[in-house]
């Protein structure tokens, strides 16, 4: 008997129109509870297929967590399919209907008739509250399994899992191994170089297991430990992360377990009680967006400029026209002048600038697509700029430029 | 009998450490061949579970496409599990071994013993060439099904699918079924309202089928048509998209089949030969980043300002201090003044501004988290601002604000 089996419903998933991120998120949550979601299934919008998936899953796992198909429209079949699997009729849940009605009347709107179907549940099932939308979830006992059904919208699904499902999960199976996982995040070192430095830790057959994987230019070290209890597994993970970080170096490793590079950069600024301004061409605002994505960023990030055209680089940042004419916008002197301009106009302590060629067009032999100059100015220090050549699509070049800028700030003298 | 069933193998997937993007990609490819991958399964690294998944899949679908677990390491179990499902032994494939040996000797390295296992295959299976790595794929007949096994590394998997699998796929089922799909993208209308307007099109049993789904605040209309030939299916899709667009209105529908809202906004500017500037507080550069994500955006988007602090709103954009004092930064007059400032400082034809409270902190009763004012200035017209209250996380509020701003520009008088 498996600990847990995940089900995801929807034609958009089955057809590959969207990627199923819910399953990975739920699997992480369950493994944090000591439950391994050893199998995930995605099923297209077909009532009989969904009903069969419920029955098979309940025959195979102690816990079944399903998502999708609870919306108010006609292709939302999950309620009916669960009722089929249970051999029951759908009934209207009075409390759920009241709640849905309140959701709409509280917004000054009549209840749309199709939203009334969202108050229906199989006879023996109960409702799970939705803190962020109109679709209540469902909970039922099917065979020996506890079945939870959540909305497909990730935000609603996550809130409902945290509030309604997690507190009701059974404990890990007696004698079962506890799995702990952890990650280090790095930017700027090639995966092959990391593999060489971590060779001993990555040897087969070791516990914890250590692996690397690249995702969009950042490289993560993944650690997984198996032990008889949670504490031992977590200690093994922490120790392996420490060792790996030492071998790779803090210049490259910027955080653990989901810390972003922007958070790490903001953290350095906050420690120094310093402020940062930005002057972006290539990244067009992406650097500012990454920084302001961190809650509380306003302590450390003042703001900046998006000078996408040469004219604005001169008009707003005071980049001398002769520098643009002589060296081109994608050049060391222009990156330096942009950073200096941002420092001066904002009164910040640090400034970062980006200029480059994201492609697909616009490259030349001397300055191919992917060429990026990043400038770093610090009050009272000489300004500097560093050149990078990134491979990849337009989006990838721009994203790597944001990360390279944040990493330069983290490593600023 | 299903057309196709997808299998993905690996503990990283089962534990949710990585998201399964292979399944979505493969499903798209198969549906372009007229084969619906109605079910996807992800299985953890367990030989018996993988073998059973092969058997069940082959009993359920005409084509089974699996990926993962073909590497040289000990947790790569797929070869052995397929042999188990076939009731066969693994044998070494002489040609595959030669090819693997050449891969290493061509790089001046001895063949690592564990890579020799990659030359093994179930007795009745045959090998599929890998253009980008050392793991050959496998192809076998299991029950009535054609089974293909591909590497898990997306780059290798995609190349092998295109080169080795696609040419060998069976035609769509006789008398059935060429599948064509299409999407409309909208922002600003609730899904329930869309469901009401599209009720006729979404009725069960119709061909094409029409559904809606929400992803991050945008709502897509998905259309799928099944017909005897490709052309008919595509015509049916196009016609349904036209009808749906008419029922929803161009104010909300901004594009089709992957068009982004930023592309639609840039397109309007290019048609008018007009330029845009931005003044961002809440979104911190995200609006500029979205606009400059579109190749060729520099025709239409000049640049802008990230004025995250009140001091910068005044210093850089000229927002009068008394407006900030009296109305607060998140207010109609400040949104208007920011947009006007950006217009004036850049000489652009349009300017958009964003100011709001993304949370998690900073809200008040009068101005709760999620409150956003978006300003729109157009040369020669009175400036205006519109208020929104978005639900969701910090990231979601910021993203919706970017989309609302782009939609306001698209719909500007």
Decide if pLDDT at A33 tops 80.
yes
Decide if pLDDT at B278 tops 90.
yes
Q: Is B302 in Cβ contact with A308 (below 8 Å)?
A: yes
Query: Residue A178 and residue A103: Cα distance in Å, rounded?
Result: 41
- Per-residue pLDDT at B174: 65
Q: Name the pLDDT band for B75 (thresholds 50, 70, 90).
A: low
Q: Name the pLDDT band for A117 (thresholds 50, 70, 90).
A: confident
Of A313, A282, A405, A284, the residue nearest A350 (C-alpha): A405
**Cα three-residue angle A276-A281-A287, rounded to 5 degrees:** 40
Segment A306-327 mean pLDDT:
96
- Per-residue pLDDT at B147: 98
Q: Please report which residue ranges of B167-298 form alpha helices under DSSP H.
A: 191-197, 199-202, 230-248, 261-272, 286-292
A385: tokens are 């700029």
CA A129 to the chain's CA centroid: 25
- Classify residue A200 as exposed, middle or buried by CB count within 10 Å of its CB (0-12, 13-18, 19+): exposed
A97: tokens are 């209907």
Nearest to A285 among B13, B204, B289 (CB): B289
Dihedral angle over CA of A269, A219, B400, A138, nearest 10: -120
Report phi then psi at B189, rounded to 5.
-115, 135
CATH level 3 topology of A261-410: Maf protein (3.90.950)
A38 touches chain B (CB under 8 A): yes
Nearest to B38 among A14, A21, A37 (CB): A14
Nearest to B18 among A213, A289, A302 (CB): A213
Query: Residue B183 and residue B409: Cα distance in Å, rounded?
Result: 22
- Classify domain B2-168 by CATH number: 3.40.980.10
Query: Residue B220 and residue A304: Cα distance in Å, rounded?
Result: 34
Q: Is B24 in Cβ contact with A13 (below 8 Å)?
A: yes
User: pLDDT averaged over chain B?
Assistant: 92
Q: Is B15 in Cβ contact with A25 (below 8 Å)?
A: no
Q: Is B292 in Cβ contact with A398 (below 8 Å)?
A: yes
Q: List pLDDT tens digits, range A267-302.
A: 999 999 999 999 999 999 999 999 999 998 989 999
Segment B379-385 mean pLDDT:
96
Q: Name the pLDDT band for A202 (thresholds 50, 70, 90).
A: confident
CB-CB contact of B338 with B307 (8 Å): yes
Query: Residue B296 and residue A4: Cα distance in Å, rounded?
Result: 48
Best mutation target among B4, B197, B292 (most A Cβ atoms within 10 Å) is B292
Decide if pLDDT at B391 tops 90.
no
* Among chain B residues, CA nearest to A209: B75
- Name the A residues in 210-229 with CB < 8 Å from any B CB: 211, 213, 215, 222, 224
Segment A210-217 mean pLDDT:
76
How many CB atoms sit inside 10 A of residue B315's CB? 16
Chain B closest-CA separation from residue A411 CA (Å): 23
A62: tokens are 């102690």
Q: List pLDDT tens digits, range B299-342.
A: 899 999 999 999 999 999 999 999 999 999 999 999 999 999 99
- Per-residue pLDDT at A216: 66
- Per-residue pLDDT at B211: 86
Q: Is A24 in Cβ contact with B13 (below 8 Å)?
A: yes
- Per-residue pLDDT at A112: 80
Contacts of residue A263, defined as CB under 8 A and 6 or more positions apart, other chains included, come to: A255, A294
Q: Please report which residue ranges of A70-224 form alpha helices under DSSP H.
A: 78-86, 94-105, 113-116, 154-160, 191-197
Residues from chain B that touch A361, judged by Cβ atoms under 8 A, are: 295-296
Q: List pLDDT tens digits, range A237-264.
A: 999 999 999 999 999 999 999 899 999 9
Decide if pLDDT at B166 tops 90.
yes
Residues from chain B that touch A181, judged by Cβ atoms under 8 A, are: 15, 17
Nearest to A295 among B283, B316, B360 (CB): B360
Of B165, B158, B111, B162, the residue nearest B134 (C-alpha): B111
Q: Please report which residue ranges of B87-153 form alpha helices under DSSP H.
A: 94-105, 113-116
CA B201 to the chain's CA centroid: 25
User: pLDDT averaged over chain A?
Assistant: 92
Query: Residue B371 and residue B280: Cα distance in Å, rounded?
Result: 15
Helices (H) and strands (E) in chain A, counts: 15, 17
Chain B closest-CA separation from residue A45 CA (Å): 9
Q: List pLDDT tens digits, range B25-62.
A: 999 999 888 888 999 999 998 999 999 999 999 999 99
Find residue B91's DSSP bridge partners.
B121
A362 touches chain B (CB under 8 A): no
Segment A176-196 mean pLDDT:
85
Decide if pLDDT at A204 tops 90.
no
- Name the A residues in 146-205 with CB < 8 Å from any B CB: 152-155, 179, 181, 183, 204-205
* Among chain B residues, CA nearest to A305: B305
Q: Domain extents for chain B? A: 2-168, 178-256, 261-410
CB-CB contact of A106 with A66 (8 Å): no
Q: Name the strands in the sheet holding B209-215, side by side, starting at the edge strand that comes first in the sequence.
A: B209-215, B218-227, B178-187, B253-256
A142: tokens are 């099917």
A121: tokens are 């549940």
Q: Is A11 in Cβ contact with B23 (below 8 Å)?
A: no
DSSP A249: -
Percent of chain A with pLDDT over 70: 98
In the three-class reduction of DSSP (H, G, I as helix; E, B as strand; rest coil), residue B8 is classed as strand
Of A160, A2, A133, the residue nearest A67 (C-alpha): A160
Q: Name the pLDDT band for A100 (thresholds 50, 70, 90).
A: confident
Decide if pLDDT at A174 tops 80.
no
CB-CB contact of A99 with A40 (8 Å): no
Of B411, B105, B387, the residue nearest B249 (C-alpha): B411
Q: Is B308 in Cβ contact with A305 (below 8 Å)?
A: no
Q: Name the pLDDT band for B176 (thresholds 50, 70, 90).
A: low
DSSP B228: S
In the three-class reduction of DSSP (H, G, I as helix; E, B as strand; rest coil), residue A314 is classed as helix
- Classify residue A247 as exposed, middle or buried by CB count within 10 Å of its CB (0-12, 13-18, 19+): middle
How many residues make up chain A in this entry?
413
Decide if pLDDT at B229 tops 70.
yes
Q: Name the pLDDT band for A132 (thresholds 50, 70, 90).
A: confident
Percent of chain B with pLDDT over 90: 71
Q: List pLDDT tens digits, range A352-385.
A: 999 999 988 888 988 999 999 999 999 999 999 9
Model ipTM value: 0.79
**CATH class for the domain made up of B178-256:** alpha beta
Q: Which of A99-103, A293-297, B85-89 has the lowest mean pLDDT?
A: A99-103
- To the nearest 10 degrees (0 to 180), the angle between helices A310-317 and B332-346 is 110
- Per-residue pLDDT at A196: 83
Of A360, A14, A138, the residue nearest B27 (C-alpha): A14
* Helix (H) or strand (E) segment spanning residue A10: none
A384 touches chain B (CB under 8 A): no
Best mutation target among A288, A313, A317, A396 (most B Cβ atoms within 10 Å) is A288
Q: Which of A90-99, B144-153, B206-215 has the lowest mean pLDDT?
A: B206-215
Q: Is B36 in Cβ contact with A74 (below 8 Å)?
A: no
Q: Is B394 in Cβ contact with A293 (below 8 Å)?
A: yes
- Classify residue B197 as exposed, middle or buried by CB count within 10 Å of its CB (0-12, 13-18, 19+): middle
Q: What is the 3-state secondary structure (H, E, C) of B33-98?
A: CCCCEEEEEEECCCHHHHHHHHHHHHHHEEEEEEECCCCCCCCCCHHHHHHHHHCCCEEECHHHHH
- Per-residue pLDDT at A32: 81
Residues from chain A that touch B296, judged by Cβ atoms under 8 A, are: 361
Nearest to B16 among A31, A154, A306 (CB): A31
B262 touches chain A (CB under 8 A): no
- Name the A residues in 268-287 with CB < 8 Å from any B CB: 278, 280, 283-287
Decide if pLDDT at A191 tops 70.
yes
How many CB atoms sit inside 10 A of residue A34's CB? 20
Report phi then psi at B303, rounded to 5.
145, -160
Q: Is B38 in Cβ contact with A41 (below 8 Å)?
A: no
Q: Chain A to chain B, count of Cβ pairs less than 8 Å apart?
A: 304
B53: tokens are 């998944």
A336 touches chain B (CB under 8 A): no
Residues from chain B that touch A297, judged by Cβ atoms under 8 A, are: 284, 308
Query: Residue B118 and residue A402: Cα distance in Å, rounded?
Result: 39
Instruction: Pick left, alpha or beta for residue B392 (phi over 0 → left; psi -120 to 50 → alpha; otherwise beta).
Output: left
Decide if pLDDT at B363 tops 80.
yes
């Amino acid at each position: 008997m498996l600990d847990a089996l995940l089900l995801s419903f929807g034609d958009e998933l089955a057809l590959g129109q969207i990627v199923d991120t819910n399953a990975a998120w739920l699997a992480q949550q369950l493994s944090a509870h000591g439950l391994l979601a050893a199998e995930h299934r995605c099923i297209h919008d077909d009532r009989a297929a969904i009903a069969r998936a419920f029955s098979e899953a309940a025959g195979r796992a102690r816990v079944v967590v399903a998502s999708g198909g609870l919306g108010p429209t006609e292709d939302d079949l999950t309620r009916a399919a669960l009722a089929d699997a249970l051999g029951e009729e759908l009934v209207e849940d009075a409390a759920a209907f009241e709640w849905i009605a309140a959701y709409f009347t509280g917004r000054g709107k009549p209840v749309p008739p199709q939203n009334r179907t969202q108050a229906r549940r199989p006879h023996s099932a109960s409702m799970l509250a939705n803190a962020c939308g109109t679709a209540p979830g469902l909970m039922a006992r099917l065979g020996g399994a506890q079945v939870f059904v959540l909305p497909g919208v990730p935000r609603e699904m996550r809130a409902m899992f945290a509030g309604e499902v997690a507190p009701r999960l059974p404990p890990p199976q007696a004698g079962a191994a506890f799995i702990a996982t952890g990650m280090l995040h790095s930017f700027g070192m090639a995966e092959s170089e990391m593999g060489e430095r971590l060779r001993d830790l990555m040897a087969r057959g070791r516990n914890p297991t250590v692996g690397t994987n690249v995702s969009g230019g950042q490289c993560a070290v993944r650690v997984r430990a198996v032990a008889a209890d949670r504490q031992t597994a977590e200690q093994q993970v922490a120790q392996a992360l420490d060792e790996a970080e030492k071998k790779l170096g803090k210049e490259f490793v910027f955080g653990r377990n989901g810390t972003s590079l922007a958070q790490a950069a903001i953290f350095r600024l906050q420690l120094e009680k310093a402020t940062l301004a930005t002057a972006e061409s290539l990244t067009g605002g992406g650097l500012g967006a990454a920084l302001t994505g961190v809650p509380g960023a306003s302590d450390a990030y003042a703001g900046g400029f998006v000078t996408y055209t040469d004219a604005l680089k001169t008009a707003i940042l005071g980049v001398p026209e002769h520098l643009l004419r002589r060296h081109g916008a994608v050049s060391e002197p222009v990156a330096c002048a942009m950073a200096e301009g941002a420092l001066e106009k904002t009164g910040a302590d640090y400034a970062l600038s980006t200029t480059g060629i994201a492609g697909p067009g616009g490259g030349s032999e001397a300055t191919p697509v992917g060429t990026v100059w990043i400038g770093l100015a610090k009050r009272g220090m000489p300004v500097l700029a560093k050149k990078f050549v990134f491979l990849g699509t337009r989006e990838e070049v721009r994203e790597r430029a944001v990360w390279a800028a944040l990493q330069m700030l983290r490593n600023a003298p």
